[in-house]
Amino acid sequence: MLFLGAFTPIHCRCTVAFGAILSVVMSFFAGFGLLFYCGFSYSNFHSWIPYLMMVIGVEHFFVICNAVDQTQLVHSSYQRIHEALSHAGPAITITSLTTALAFGSGMLSSLQALRSFCLFASVCIVMLWLASMTLFLAFVVWDTQRVEDKKKECFGACFCQENSFWCCFGRLASKKQRKFSGIEEIQVEDITSARSNNL
């Protein structure tokens, strides 16, 4: 929640961070549920898979959000998502594919516990890729549309101002985010009004 977006009411990504965690949890249940349905068993060795999925998932989520942040804020949300996915999509797909194949090769081991672990990990990574490109991406698209409309986080219910004390007066936002949000204009107006009051 702190690092996925910027520390301003418009560019904060609290809902997207919730979608990221939901994507990892849903892909975990989808992978394990599919393999349980196919008759595979679970062991204590598999308890490491959620941590593995969180690490890989966080990497996916940061790549997607960073690609969106690299686009121009003045463009439409459709243009921004299209441009971002043209860079982030292949990177995430290749990473997921190679990781799933690496765990898939572990299924050739003679150790049954290792074979089972690699099978579960490989299937869960594929499910995580599907969740990242569908469920999480839906949260990112919604958030990008919200930013385009200059609505604040929490479905527009956030009462914080862009240049408030709670948002560090907008100093933690990038230059283009401050310009898009109008923080620089607000600060200039505050300085002007302060000088007029002193006169």
Predicted TM-score (pTM) of the model is 0.78
The pLDDT value given to residue 155: 53
The pLDDT value given to residue 91: 92
Q: For residue 31, which of 58, 49, 43, 57 has the smallest C-alpha distance?
A: 49
Give the whole-angstrom CA distance, residue 37 versus residue 175. Answer: 51
| All residues at 6 or more sequence positions from 34 whose CB lies less than 8 Å from its CB, including other chains | 123, 127
**Mean pLDDT per 10-residue run, the chain (199 residues)?**
71 84 94 91 84 91 90 86 91 93 88 87 94 92 84 60 52 58 51 46
pLDDT tens track for 142-188: 888 887 877 766 655 555 555 554 455 455 565 655 555 566 554 44
- Ordered by start, the domain boundaries in the chain are 14-148, 165-198
Q: For residue 75, what is the DSSP state? A: S
Contact status, residue 103 vs residue 122, Cβ threshold 8 Å: yes
The pLDDT value given to residue 12: 76
The pLDDT value given to residue 143: 86
Give the whole-angstrom CA distance, residue 110 versus residue 176. Answer: 55
Q: For residue 11, which of 167, 134, 164, 132 has the smallest C-alpha distance?
A: 167
